[in-house]
Structures are given as C-alpha cells and as structure tokens.
A and B are shown apart, each in its own frame.
Chain A
Amino acid sequence: MKTRRWVQIGFFLFIAAIAVNHGLAESGGGIAWLSNASLHAICPFGGVVTLYTYITDGAMIKKIHESSLVLMGLVLFLSVLVGPAFCGWVCPLGSIQEWVGKLGRKIFGKSYNRLIPKKADRLLGWIRYGVLAWVLVVTALSFDLVFSTVDPYFALFQFWTGEVAISAIIILLTVLGLSLIVERPWCRYACPYGAFLGISNKFRIFTIRRNAKTCVDCKQCDSVCPMGIEVSTSGKVRDLRCISCMECTSEAACPIPETVQLLGGIKDEA
C-alpha cells in the first residue's frame, strides 16, 4: 500500500478515536491517555474562521479554541513548504471521498469522473471561494460557528450525537453519493478550507514540476489527479486545486523517471 494511504488511514482513525473519546468523556468515561478534545478544537479551519474575531476582539468564536489557531498556523507552515498536503494526506473527509471513489471506479468504470465536462468542472471549482467568503463574513458578523450547520466533516464524526444539524448530514450523504461519480466532489467544488489552502499553490516552496524534455505526453498524470488538474500541460503545477497528493509523480503514475517530481527552488523546468 502507498505511503499516503497509510497516513490517511492513520489520521482518519486518530480523529475518529478522539471524536468517540470526546463523547465518552462527556458521559463520564473515556480513555485517559487519549485526547478528548471536541472536534471543533482539532479542526484547523476553526482557526481561519475565528481569526478576524480574535484579532479585532481578542475572543474566539463559539466552540472554537486556541488549539484551532495553533493547527491553522501549523497547516499554513506545511502549505507554504509543500502546498495543501493537509488536504491530500490528512483531511479525513477528503480520504473518505477517495475511498468511496474507488468503489465508484469499480461501478462506473471509464465513465467515472467524466460526467462533468472539464470546463464546467473548472468553473464549479470557483464556488468554494464563494463558500469561503460567505463563511468568513457571516462568522465575523454573527460570532457564531455558522458553518457547523452545513459542515460534512463535523457530521462525519458526530452523526451519532444529537449535535449535528440535519442539513450537515444531508450534505455529507450527498457528498458521499457524488463521490461515486466524481472524485473528491466536496474538495473540488465546495470546501472553503481547501479554497483557503489552495492559495498556497501560488507561492509554495516545493512544487510539482513536469520536465517537458523527458515527458512522453502519455497523460497518466492527468488521469490519476484526484482534483482534475492537467499536469501534462504544466511546467510547474500552480493550480489552486492541487492537494500535493503526489499521485502524478514519477514515484507513482508517471512512467518516466524524474519527469514529474516535487522539487524545491524557483527554477522552472518546463
């Protein structure tokens, strides 16, 4: 199994265990050596949504804690280095969409991921910036965690509690359903945190680069990209949707050694 898959499974189980432990701790039980933090406390996006209130007022949005700000800083640092690796390697919602997508590939074969035209796919990708703007503005105005009412990540790890809004459960089920026909639909079209982290692709230190001199134009890199990026036409991959999953590299899909790689520095190989 690929290294990334192990990391994804590890983080998925880790977050799930903390979420369950939080519930157990609230009812007087729980595992002592494991964190029983709330899901909000270990979500780096919480740091983003509370940032304005924290700067202007010195207070946190309801249910968000300092740990979210710490995680936001750490994930930002990681993103400046290697891009939104959080999305491709850590985020449990991204992982579960990928796993459901594998089932979709088996069911729909070559039709999988081809139901939405490329142009529409690109345009729909901008919706997540609208979602990001909406979340930031409404949260700043209301001092309330409005996103939790539609947050499929929260629903994924809290669906057994009474704390999840039905709208969030519906969105989670819709996302999982869509994952059978489109890879990572939430990440592509709606995730505000993915939109936020995606900006780091414009200035990240280590970038996915395609060596045009050795590239045989087989387009393997395009077909494996979970975010629908055309790596085969890029020199440096600066696309806002890149999640640094490394699936397109010569280590994974690309059949030619040292052709698609994650390289540091500013020299363009294209």
Chain B
Amino acid sequence: MKLNQKSIAILVVVILFGGVFVSDTLGLWKTESSKVPVKIQTGEFVGEADPADIRGSYTLSDIANAFPISVEVLAEAFFIEENAAEFQLKRLEETYASEDDFELGTSSVRLFVARYTGLPYERTGEEALFPHTIDFLVKEGKLTLEEAEQIPIMESEIPIVYENENTVEEEHVEPLVKGNTTVADLFGLGLSEEEIVSVIGDYDSKGDLVRDVCNSNEVAFSKAKLTLQDLVEK
C-alpha cells in the first residue's frame, strides 16, 4: 500500500483532531490541572500529599481538598477576605510584590500548609509570611521560635477582597509597627514606657525588636501591633 502527501495530511489532521474530539467526549481531554499534589515518596509521611507540590493555579478550596486544613484558616493566614475558596495562589505574588530576596506567594502557602499540618517541607529561605501568620503558627505550637526568627516577614498586610477571577480589590494599610520595629521606635512614636510594657511586656534593651519581645513574653505580635497602633493614633 502506498501513501502520498495528501494521505499523510489527512492522517495527521484526522488522528490529531479526531483523537482530541474522542478523548474530549470520553472526558479524558483536560487542559487544566487536576489539582492533585504528588504524594510524598519516602519517610514517615509516605503516601501523604506533598506541600511542596502546591501550585500557583490552586485555589484555597483545592488546598483544603488535598490537605487537612480549612479554607478559613488559609484565608485568615493570607488576608483573603471574600470568595476565599476561589482565590488562586498566584494572585498572592501579584498582590504582594517584593523587591527583596523573598516573596509572599505560592511558596509561602506551601510553608504554611506544611507547618500547620505537620507535613515535611524544606524551606528555600524565600518564603515570607505575615507577622500574624507566624504568631499564629508559634501559638499553635506548629512552629518553633527558632524557626520563626528565620522566616522573612512580609510587612504590608493588604486585605484582599476577591471578587472574581479577574478582580482583586486592595485596600492598603501601612502599619506603624512592623517586624523590624524596635522598642526605641515605639518611644519615637510617642508612646510611654508604661504603655509599651502594658502591651508587649518587659524588655531588656530599647534596641530589641518588638516582635522578639512579644515572642519572649508569649504575646501575640499581630494583636500587639494593632493595640500599639491604636495607642499611637489616640
């Protein structure tokens, strides 16, 4: 049997387009991620979903389906205020652009999910978290103080109102107290010794970071920040 150019052309078109049509009819043609992370291959957690495989295309509900964590916990950790279930992780990077060596994005969610669920995840050092997220993990006993100090902090906490796939409304709130704010800075903001100690507890030196003082006194930094902000704005 002999084939010519026209035969090949027909074969190519029929096999490729026909095959796609048939596979689509059978429900096999999927051009979007199935949102199933790979399983951990070795060690104590073999067979569990691997947080390292969380991808930017995942929504919070995809993560909640794959890991023992709720959409509400994720939404609170990453300041997502509305329609959180449909929020895609890659939008975090768009919202929290950083010129530093770290970012608040998909990798941050990987780290958070891993620490929250107790699943293994090796940090790259680039995953930033919000101060209140770090505090939450520490408070829940899911993060050691030692590791908490190593995690880069994303300061600008912007509540994300997620309207639909293409709309992200942002309301920027510039906090007065940040992760690198020292006790001396609080004095500079006009607070008295009593006010400071009443919120963050005793400190050793004015050069101490407020965050460290809070951690050593087991005070939630996220709450302390808000209280201090209120005192300053009084």
Contacts and interface: CB of A to CB of B under 8 A. Distances in A.
Q: Do A and B come from one complex?
A: yes
A190 B139 CA distance: 53
A2 B4 CA distance: 12
Contacts of B4: 246, 249, 251, 262
Contacts of B5: 2-4, 246, 249, 251-252
A77 B36 contact: no
A244 interface: yes
A265 to B, nearest CB: 7
A263 B34 contact: no
Interface in B149-206: 165-166
B42 interface: no
Given A59-B39, A85-B8, A42 B53 contact: no
A206 B28 CA distance: 29
Contacts of B23: 67, 70
A27 B38 contact: no
A82 B11 contact: yes
A28 B165 contact: yes
A70 B29 contact: yes
Contacts of B12: 7, 78, 85-86, 89-90
A261 B32 CA distance: 41
Contacts of B29: 66-67, 70
B31 A82 contact: no
A53 B38 contact: yes
A172 interface: no
Interface string A36-70: 01100110000000000100011110110111001
Contact of A90 (B16, B31, B52): B16
Interface in B67-121: none
A109 interface: no
Contacts of A77: 15, 19
A75 B37 CA distance: 27
Contacts of A71: 16, 19-20
Contact of A246 (B8, B15, B19, B34): B8
A26 B29 CA distance: 20
Interface string A237-270: 0000000101001011000000001111100000
B8 A57 contact: no
A85 B13 CA distance: 11
Contacts of A27: 166
A35 interface: yes
A206 B36 CA distance: 40
A256 B165 CA distance: 61
Contacts of B20: 67, 70-71, 74
A82 B19 contact: no
Contacts of B36: 58-59
A265 B3 CA distance: 12
A3 B9 contact: yes
A244 B8 contact: yes
A81 interface: yes
Given A78-B11, A90-B12, A244-B8, A60 B1 contact: no
A78 B16 contact: yes
Interface of A: 2-4, 6-7, 27-28, 35, 37-38, 41-42, 53, 57-60, 62-63, 65-67, 70-71, 73-75, 77-78, 81-82, 85-86, 89-90, 143, 206, 244, 246, 249, 251-252, 261-265
13 contacts: A3-B8, A28-B166, A35-B31, A37-B32, A58-B39, A60-B33, A63-B55, A66-B29, A67-B29, A70-B20, A71-B19, A82-B3, A143-B38
Top 7 closest A-B pairs, CB basis?
A37-B31, A41-B31, A74-B19, A28-B166, A59-B38, A66-B30, A264-B1
Given A66-B34, A89-B12, A143-B38, 7 more contacts: A37-B31, A59-B38, A63-B55, A71-B19, A77-B15, A85-B12, A264-B1
